[in-house]
Amino acid sequence: MEKKDVIFLSFYNRNYSRSAVLLNAKESEYDRYFYQINTEILSLFFDLLRIKRIHHRQIRCVVVMSPCHKIVPIVRLICRRPIILDAGWPLADGLKSRRKSVSRRRWPILMETFRIVIIDYLAFHFSNMVLLETKSQLNRVKQNYKVRESKLRVSLTGFNESTMGNLEVKKSDVESRNYDKKDAVTKVLFRGKITNESGFQNIIEATKLLDDSFELVYVVDRMPSPYNPSPREKFIIGFSESELPLIYNEIDICLGQISSHPRLQITIPHKAFEAAYFGKAYISPRCDGIRELADESDVYYLNDITPLALSNAIFELARDKSRIDGYGRSFQQRYLNLASQQFLGNQLDKWILELTEKPVKNSDSHKLDQ
């Protein structure tokens, strides 16, 4: 009897990370099962034994969901089945972005960095296949962690559509926009955290250069301090995913990360996939990460990362709102072709078949890549 069960494992709930896109994809070739497992080592051990007993010999492969890299070696030891690590990126990348808030002392930072790098290294080498968010990220992992390129794949992060309803509804929203009202307010959305990477300071400085025909909506993690917003600025702090369609339905233009942060050369902001899914015009710096997803016809790329350049881009789009519609349509089509939930799910099925049609020798399961 053919093995049909694909097991997804995470410390978090099924919709927590990028892996939810793969888990919740419909029309899969395989039966997908999700288990939220314990982080404590002994409980994890018994959880895995229980899962193995439930599925007996029907497990085709195990998908370790992001960011649970550290369980890969023990999953390999107990389950004895091929493992796909949906990493997205090394855990060390996240540590670098938080480094200022971790500690001001040198040794704790060095020890934590060493621990995380070892976790990444073991996870990448004990996995049979590793999924990464961009080609740039793949090349970094290949070089920095000495991983064979043959086991690395690019899987875009995408967007968990399963919580949003039918995409056809969103497409009809784009197609039915009415631009006859020339004096309508143009609404611009920034969604994300207030960090150096987001370029939030550039955004609020650009806002000062706009007139009363624009409204800025900030969906953020906190109020900036000190900051006195104008009547044209609206802050939304704390919201549920189910509110996203209501927010995006009112928006004309979405802003990406308006900075030159080096991480943008290897990653695609999640907000880009959201904007593409909802068919919205998206303004972004010309970074290597997002250019793996979208070209000049899909995204308005800034030549300069300054408040003036951003405000000019917003003015330019608002003067010809058919361009807003054009960017939205093109970006959404690009999403459907390369990053929709169904596309990414089908891609995973193909990789599972590719991985499991070749026998994996249990006797080699403990060995690292040479």
pLDDT per residue as tens digits for the range 253-297: 999 999 999 999 999 999 999 999 999 999 999 999 999 999 999
Which tokens sit at 69? Answer: 């890299």
User: Residue 169 — pLDDT band, cuts 50, 70, 90?
Assistant: very low
Spatial separation of the C-alpha atoms in residues 245 and 249, rounded to whole Å: 6
- The answer to whether the bond into 90 is cis (omega within 30° of 0) is no
pTM: 0.88
| Of 28 and 126, the one with more pLDDT | 126
Contact between 83 and 151 under an 8 Å Cβ cutoff? The reply is no
Backbone angle region of 88, left / alpha / beta, with phi > 0 → left and psi within -120 to 50 → alpha: left
Paired sense of beta strands 152-154 and 186-192, if any? unpaired
Which domains are present in the chain? 5-158+341-364 (3.40.50.2000), 161-338 (3.40.50.2000)
d(CA 251, CA 256) in angstroms, rounded, equals: 14
Which is nearest to 121 in space by CA: 141, 103, 137?
141
Dist. CA 80–CA 51, nearest whole Å: 12
With a cut of 60, say whether residue 22 has pLDDT above it.
yes
Percent of the chain's residues with pLDDT above 90:
74
The mean pLDDT value of the chain amounts to 88
- SS3 assignment, position 185: coil
pLDDT at position 8 is 97
* Mean pLDDT, range 57-77, rounded to an integer: 94
The single-letter code of the amino acid at 300 is Y
Between β-strands 214-220 and 186-192, what pairing exists: parallel, antiparallel or unpaired?
Answer: parallel
Please say whether the beta carbons of 265 and 289 come within 8 A: yes
